[in-house]
Chains A and B, each alone.
Chain A
Amino acid sequence: MKAKLNAVHDNDLEKLLAKLNLLEKLKQGELKCKFTQEVITFDNLHSIFPEEGTIKLVSDSPEAIKLLSEYINERNL
């Protein structure tokens, strides 16, 4: 079985965030990591996923990445 991993390259990140109406909020420091509550920046953004009508963001701290994996396993995202 093949696993697919959707990815965005740094060069396209700003454009993607703009398309998803997240760019201004990120620049204003209004976006937080779903798991660790740290403020998301261009530097520490690890991943995004949709949930319950909104877009969740995850930071790249080891703790957030582990919590994301457990969360995905539980909900089969």
Chain B
Amino acid sequence: MKEIYNKIDFNFFFDFDFSLWEVSTFSLAGAFIYFLLNPEKFEKLIALLSRLLRFISSKVDRTYVKYDLQGKINDYLKKVSKRVKHIDIKNIKIEWIDVSAQTEKQYIQDGEMIIRLKKGDHQNENIVKASMAFISHAFLKKAKSYIAKYQRESMDLFACYDLLKEEKSEILDQFVQDFMKNKMDNEKIADFFEKYTDIDDVGIFYPVLVQELTFLGEKVFANKRDTQKIHKEVTDLVNFLYRYANRKLREDNINDFSGEYCKFGIRIIGRSLVINRDGERVYVNHLKKVAGKNETMYLIGNKEHKKFMKKVFKSCQLDLNYSLIQEETYKAIIKDPEGEPIEVKNYMMTIRNNSIKVYHKS
């Protein structure tokens, strides 16, 4: 033993000798890569800097107004596009009109809509009005194209609320006063908005509801469609997800939605008792049984079972003829067996039948 010990002789000697130039270079390189991967964060940085300096000139004020608004909306769009496949708009860019190049004749002939943005002193107002205009007009167009007006309006309100809720309270207050107060007098809109809130609390507003509406939009775009049927199916879809959102832990629930346009299943994967007792077998067999009835399956489980869930899917992927199109880890507020809210960290896999194309008939 002594011989072995004598042969092992570690001599650690660290000598850090970086110049200020080298440290600065590494830091700048790191910052560059960070902002390259997160351009919306760079927009927010520009906005912050120009906000401090905007009193110097009107050009700086324009920079602040533009990048502050762009950064906030693009931050939100990035968050949503990570959670919804095939989303139409992922990014917005505000372009200041070249006023000197405008003429009445040319504008009437070729012009596009121009939105007016006030000076930075009124930035709260700019954010609320531009966000609502953008959400109503350009956001989730595919998903909203065929749904009823009150369904669309409630979704716009919820999406805009979600965009603005992380901002200053004055901004959210202005949005509530200007847009929500009146619309929430409409019972149908108010009812849907409340349901969206519960659905979002359990983490499935974007990755399931908006996703299914996007798939619906892809399905009906070129077909003769029965609008009343679509409106009814969307109502049923919201109610189905609302019931799911309010189920208690381990409560039995109907897990498949078999509409004319939306066909999907939600499966909870990974009860510890079942995993320990039966392993993958039970889940694999069940997925094989139900996959044929659905176009999409949403597999949800606790984050700690992520590896297990991936293993389950891999075991039967070829038999199911499904592909993984989206996965995420997220926080959710669910109900415990007594109905009390508890926060959990979930993992979700969205798997889709390979025979379903992006634009397709029923």
The residues of A with any CB-CB pair to B shorter than 8 Å are 1-13, 15-16, 19-21, 45-50, 53-55, 60, 62-63, 65-66, 68-70, 72-73, 77
Contact = CB atoms under 8 A, between A and B. Distances in A.
Q: Is the interface of A mostly helix, strand, loop or mixed?
A: mixed
Interface in B90-124: 90-97, 99-100, 102-104, 107-109, 111-119
A14 to B, nearest CB: 10
Contact of B62 (A6, A11, A46): A11
Contacts, number: 138
Q: Is the interface of B mostly helix, strand, loop or mixed?
A: helix
Interface of B: 58, 61-62, 65-66, 88-97, 99-100, 102-104, 107-109, 111-119, 129-130, 132-134, 136-138, 141, 149, 153, 156, 178-179, 182
Given A3-B134, A8-B115, A60-B129, 18 more contacts: A2-B93, A5-B92, A6-B95, A6-B114, A6-B115, A7-B66, A7-B96, A7-B115, A8-B114, A10-B116, A16-B97, A16-B114, A46-B115, A50-B107, A53-B108, A55-B108, A69-B136, A72-B137
A49 B113 CA distance: 4
B262 to A, nearest CB: 22
B90 A62 contact: no
Contacts of B92: 2-5
A70 B108 CA distance: 21
B132 A65 contact: yes
Contacts of B134: 3, 5
A6 B90 CA distance: 17
B178 A3 contact: no
A50 B109 CA distance: 8
